[in-house]
Structure 1
Amino acid sequence: MSKSVARLKSMKKLAEKIDHSSTLRTNIPAGMAAAGPPLGPMLGQRNINIAAFCKDFNEKTSNIKQGIPLPTRVRVNADRSYQLVINQPPASYFLKQAAGVNRGAMEPVKETCGKITLKHLYEIAKIKSQDAALDWKPLKEICTMLIATARTCGIEVVKELDAKDYEEFLNERKSIVEEQKRLLQEKREAKMLRTA
């Protein structure tokens, strides 16, 4: 009987050592963490002091341009404390910034929304290599990953880019984007009429 009791106690100690903490993975705009949805409810579910978290996050990101999306990982401990890991902005953000576009292509296989040079790609890869998840990857693999991401956004990677030609391309692209927005709005309105 005493052996089984001792065994139960040792099993109980093992069970107490299991980490039941949760990890929150989300993108939060730099300097704009607020208690409202969607961030507030996510933090509340994990019993994190929302006001303290928002203050902490905004202080840590005060040196970054406000509104830039930052992939954030929050590991919650049993005592309601947390570890905050803030990564570099997503690759798609950097690629769109380098291409000078606000949004990716609606149909990336059929259309090109922007272009970047290999130099742009290399500079973005150097920045992304600072992320903990990509810390161990060689720069060549990060560049390959970025080329794939650019392709899914509809951004073409070229060796050289002429400024005048690219400006003409972007001006043509504006009219295409406006037409796409108009078609989307018509579809939304038609859907609302069907459901009304």
Structure 2
Amino acid sequence: MEILVSVQIFGSQTTMATTLKDAVARKPVLATIRLIVPAGAARPAPPVGPALGFYRLNLMAFCKDFNARTQKYKAETPMQVTLTAYKDSTFEFVVKSPSVAWFLKKAAGIETASSRPGHVMVSSLTLRHVYEIAKLKQSDPYCKHMSVEALCKSIIGTANSMGIEIVKDL
């Protein structure tokens, strides 16, 4: 038996056929939790413990799996995690790379961005830095569809809003 499912994406209506088996196989979602956890440092203490414990999820399973997935990153690198908790106390999570702002701060060697971006420049980076950050971000699950050029434009915009000047050569 097939069921027609109507999905609205960005204003356009799409209809797709799905089987009853596929529709029943989907688990009911309890919550979507977003966390920022240092790489390789997940433990059942705050902030992870209270966030996951509230939904009665297995803290140790998450910590072990997260630490295993992020062992290739340098310690204390802030990793963005999107965790989907289901009503049967199971979960799935996606680990994203650090934010563009974090990469820009590290590349520029600064602690904080400019308090007056556009007026006070705190540092400068080359287009090569921007390209390298774009290549790293392209490995993110949500950025795979974007071209390197589009990511570079986005990174340059973020740098400008932080008071970091992008130059051709230093």
- Normalised by the length of structure 1, the TM-score is 0.69
How many residue pairs align between the two structures? Answer: 148
Secondary structure, in 3 states, of the residue corresponding to 2:30? coil
Q: Give the aligned partner of residue 135 of structure 1.
A: 144
Larger radius of gyration: 1
Higher strand share: 2
1:104-123 equivalences in 2 (<5 Å): 104-123=113-132
**8 Å Cα contact 2:29-2:85 kept in structure 1:** no
The 3 A distance-change label for structure 1 pair 141 and 16 is closer
Q: Distance in 1 between matches of 2:155 and 2:55?
A: 33
**8 Å Cα contact 2:27-2:86 kept in structure 1:** no
1:147-186 equivalences in 2 (<5 Å): 147-161=156-170
Residue 103 (str. 1) matches residue 138 (str. 2): no
Residue 23 (str. 1) matches residue 5 (str. 2): no
Q: Give the aligned partner of residue 82 of structure 1.
A: 91
- Normalised by the length of structure 2, the TM-score is 0.79
Q: Distance in 2 between matches of 1:24 and 1:35?
A: 15
Return structure 1 stretches of 4+ with deviation > 3 angstroms. 14-18
Which ranges of structure 1 fall in alignment gaps of 5 or more residues? 1-13, 162-196
Q: Distance in 2 between matches of 1:136 and 1:21?
A: 28
Q: CA deviation at 1:55?
A: 2.1
Question: Percent of counterpart pairs with the same letter?
Answer: 36
Q: CA deviation at 1:18?
A: 7.3
Secondary structure, in 3 states, of the residue corresponding to 1:21? strand
Higher helix share: 1
Q: Give the aligned partner of residue 51 of structure 1.
A: 60
**8 Å Cα contact 2:27-2:87 kept in structure 1:** no
Which ranges of structure 2 fall in alignment gaps of 5 or more residues? 1-22
Q: CA deviation at 1:98?
A: 1.3
Q: Deviations over 1:71-114 (max 9, x none)?
A: 11111122212112111111111111111212212222321121
Q: Give the aligned partner of residue 154 of structure 2.
A: 145
